[in-house]
Homo-oligomer: A and B are copies of this chain.
C-alpha cells in the first residue's frame, strides 16, 4: 500500500459529566485525510482544503500526531499528508481529533499495522496539544474506536469502549462564533468542591451503567454537569434556552459539545432528534444568529477507509 484515503469523523467530547473522559463518534461529518509514502524521509503536509490551517507540522495537529508516532516506530520512508477539512476548526465537534486520529490511522495502515488502537489513541492525543495545550484523549478515542468511549487514563493508555443502545441520535447546533479550545479551557477553575466532585462522578458512573442497561431515563438524569457547564456556557449564546427547550421537546439531555460553542442534544430515535433540532434552530433564528445543524447517529465504526493503492 502506497497511499490511503480515509474519512475521519467528528466527535463529541465530555458529554456533560465526563470532562476529558467521555467521547462519542459521529456519523457523516468529518475530515478526509490522504497519506502517501515518499522516498524522502520525514513528514510534510502538502495540501489543506476546506478550512484554513497551518501546514507547519509542529503547529498542525496532524503533523504533531504523525511526528509522535514516528518517534516510536522505525520506518524507511517519509509521508505526505493531504487534509480536506470537513469540520470547521473551533466548532467543538472534534476538528483537531479528526485530523490527528485520521493521520495516525492512515500511517499505521501504510506501514502494516504494527500499532494497536490504544497506541494510536495515545499518539493522536499528542496532536491535541496543539489545539488545547494539554493531552486529552476523549475525542481521539471516540474517532479511533467508534461508539461511546471512556478514557480511564491517557498516559496509561487505558481506553474503554462502552456498550450503548443503538437508537441514540444527536442533534448538534453550531452557532457561528469561534471559541478556541485553549481559551475555553483557561476559564475552568482548577479547584472543585468535594460535593460537586461527588455529584459529577456519580453522574458519570450512572451514565456508564445507564448506557449499558439502555435505561434512557437514567441517561437523561446523568447528563448533568455541575462543574464545567456553568462556567463554559457563558461563552455560548442562549445556552440555557437551547437546553431547556430541547429537553422540553423530548431530548434525554443537552450539554456543551467538547469545549463549545456547539451544543448537543441527545435523543432517542431520529424522529425525536428532528423535533429537537427544530426547537434548537428556532432559538438562534429568533436572534438572527447564523448556525449549522447536524443530526447524527452514533458511529460505531469510527474511521472509514475510502480507497488505497
* Contact partner, A202, options B151, B209, B212, Cβ 8 Å: B151
* Contact partner, A191, options B188, B191, B218, B227, Cβ 8 Å: B191
> How many copies of this protein are present in the complex?
2
Interface range on chain A (Cβ under 8 Å from partner): 35 or more
- The answer for the CA separation of A162 and B215 in the assembled complex, in Å, is 13
Interface residue? A246 (CB, 8 A): no
* Contact partner, A160, options B151, B193, B199, B209, Cβ 8 Å: B209
Which residues between 198 and 217 of chain A lie within 8 Å of chain B, taking CB atoms?
198-209, 212
- The answer for the CA separation of A159 and B224 in the assembled complex, in Å, is 16
Interface string of A12-39 (1 = CB under 8 A from B): 0000011111000000000000000000
Interface residue? A152 (CB, 8 A): yes
Interface residue? A150 (CB, 8 A): yes
Are A21 and B153 within 8 A (Cβ)? no
Are A197 and B206 within 8 A (Cβ)? no
Interface residue? A190 (CB, 8 A): yes
Which residues between 136 and 153 of chain A lie within 8 Å of chain B, taking CB atoms?
150-153
Interface residue? A189 (CB, 8 A): yes
Chain B residue nearest to A19 in the complex (CB) = B198
Cβ–Cβ < 8 Å partners of A17 in chain B: 201
Are B212 and A209 within 8 A (Cβ)? yes
Cβ–Cβ < 8 Å partners of A153 in chain B: 199, 202, 221
Interface string of A282-308 (1 = CB under 8 A from B): 000000000000000000000000000
* Contact partner, A205, options B150, B189, B198, B227, Cβ 8 Å: B150
Cβ–Cβ < 8 Å partners of A156 in chain B: 221
Chain B residue nearest to A201 in the complex (CB) = B201
Are A201 and B200 within 8 A (Cβ)? yes
Interface residue? A235 (CB, 8 A): no
